[in-house]
Structure 1
Amino acid sequence: MSIVKINVLTVPAEQREVLEKRFASRAGAVESSDGFEWFELLRPVEGTDQYLVYTRWRDEASFQAWMEGPMKAAHQGGAGAGAGGDAGGERPKPAASGSQVWSFEVVQQAAPKSA
């Protein structure tokens, strides 16, 4: 079965818009990766300052290949959600003040019934 990686980003209120714009500017960057299945950026509604970046992968090897290839290049090049910025200038301050990654295996799943 698939694996899920959830990156938990602590984002101060004044940086929320910055984070969301950085993710929007790189929309589509992960979808072409081998083994990629799903992505969602979840905005907190109440009671927390933590965004959840949900990705689902065919297997751990697919996730690691993305981390070591396209994801690493995006962050080093200044286009990542945490780094942001333009290629020729100084890298702006990260939008998130902290992060951690949670890992899960999918053991059950359900899809909506077709009408």
Structure 2
Amino acid sequence: MSIVKINAITVPADSGDELGRRFAAHSGSMAGVGGFEGFELLRPTDGRTQWLVLTRWADEESYAAWRSSQDFARSHGHGSAEEGAARPRPVGTASELWSYTVAVEQEQTAERQ
């Protein structure tokens, strides 16, 4: 059964679009990562300042392997492909990681005609 990781990122109101642009610029970067099943970046619509990065993984081991990988380190500002390269400043001011398992899953069905 899949596991879900949600990174709740607190983003100032004037920086949300930049967070979206950064994620869009790296939209294919997870292709081929073992156990990765997909992700969504969720924008708040109710005045909150927390954006949610929802990822789905085959299992906890796959997630842990990605977290300890060089790709994770580079994409999260812990080193770069070019030493000394300037890194953009973080958009978020805080983040919190939430972990879940899927308790009930429902597939979308085609509309009845």
Q: Relative CO higher for 1 or 2, CA cutoff 8 Å, sep ≥ 6?
A: 2
Q: Which sections of structure 1, spanning at least 5 residues, go unmatched?
A: 80-85
TM-score (norm 2): 0.86
Give distance in 1, aligned partners of 2:44 and 2:5.
Answer: 18
Provide TM-score, normalisation by structure 1: 0.84
> What per-residue deviation string (whole Å, max 9, x for no partner) do you get for residues 6-40 of structure 1?
00000001211211111111111123211111210
In structure 2, the residue matched to 1:3 is 3
| Aligned mates of 2:74, 2:87 — CA distance in 1 | 14
Partner of 1:109: 105
How far apart are residue 105 of structure 1 and its match?
A: 0.7
**Aligned-CA RMSD value:** 2.0
2:59 match:
59
Q: In structure 1, what is the equivalent of residue 75 of structure 2?
A: 74
Is residue 92 from structure 1 mapped to residue 88 from structure 2 by the alignment?
Answer: yes
Q: Could you tell me which residue of structure 1 aligns to residue 12 of structure 2?
A: 12
Overall identity of the aligned pairs, in %: 44
Residues 23 and 38 (structure 1), Cα distance of their counterparts in 2 relative to 1, 3 Å cut: same
The answer to whether the aligner puts 1:26 opposite 2:29 as a matched pair is: no
**Which of the two has higher C-alpha Rg?**
2
Q: Distance in 1 between matches of 2:74 and 2:86?
A: 17
CA change 1:18–1:113 in 2 (3 A) is same
Residues of 2 paired with 1:39 and 1:87: CA distance? 29
**1:46-103 Cα deviation digits (max 9, x unpaired):** 1300000000000000011111112223222459xxxxxx975422220000001000
* Structure 1, 61-70 or 93-102: larger mean CA deviation: 61-70
Question: Matched residue pairs, number?
Answer: 109
Distance 1:88 1:20, change over 3 A: farther
